[in-house]
Amino acid sequence: RMSIRFEHALDLSCAPAKAFAILDDIAQTPKWITRVTGVEKLTNSRDAVGTRLRYSYREAGHTGSIEAEIVSRQPSEHLRLRIEDKLANVTLDFRMSPRDGGTRLVNVVEIMPKTFMARVFSPVIRNQLPKHVCAALEELRRLVEEAS
């Protein structure tokens, strides 16, 4: 089965620790992913590998929620989330490294459609994904730079 993958890198004017702190703070997520209306922790642990999260979202007049799990978390360096729902498995991967006094952030989104309908819509998703990812990362940049 074909997965849909999109990778985007951008340079931020802050240190990797600050970029990581905003990515890692679920209260900040709706500020940079506009379709997300809220995030709650489903496990009462501190943020760590295995922590489960529920994202509420609104898109095209439709509301819903999806669950995610932190599968890798290395402060100031790497955050990886896995989302599994009935339509697709999604991996969100963020890597940070120091660059020219700031941070190079590389985001990889991988979507593995699971149903026939999800596969039918794959060309649309593949077409729309870059726009959504780039818009979210530009919002993230704005948040990070306001906080610096």
- Per-residue pLDDT of 59-102, as tens digits, reads 888 999 999 999 999 999 999 999 998 889 999 999 999 999 99
Helix H or strand E segment including 126: helix 122-147
Predicted confidence band at 147 (pLDDT cuts at 50, 70, 90)? confident
Q: Are strands 36-41 and 52-59 parallel, antiparallel or unpaired?
A: antiparallel
Under 8 Å between Cβ of 96 and 78: yes
Of 8, 7, 2, 10, the C-alpha closest to 103 is 10
- Helices marked H in 14-121 — which ranges? 16-24, 29-32, 116-120
Type of residue found at 128: Q
- 10's tokens: 């951008």
The pairs formed by 59-66 with CB atoms below 8 angstroms and a separation of 24 or more are 59/35, 63/37
- 31's tokens: 């500020």
Output the average pLDDT for the chain.
Answer: 93
Residue-wise pLDDT for 13-33, tens only, equals 999 999 999 999 999 999 999
Q: What percent of the chain has pLDDT over 70?
A: 99
Residue-wise pLDDT for 45-58, tens only, equals 778 899 999 999 99
In this predicted structure, the answer to whether residue 44 has a pLDDT above a threshold of 80 is: no
Model-level pTM? 0.93
The predicted pLDDT at position 12 comes to 95
Q: What gap in Å lies between CA 106 and CA 20, rounded to an integer? A: 12
Q: What gap in Å lies between CA 66 and CA 64, rounded to an integer? A: 7
Of 144, 143, 110, the C-alpha closest to 126 is 110
In the three-class reduction of DSSP (H, G, I as helix; E, B as strand; rest coil), residue 67 is classed as strand
The predicted pLDDT at position 55 comes to 95
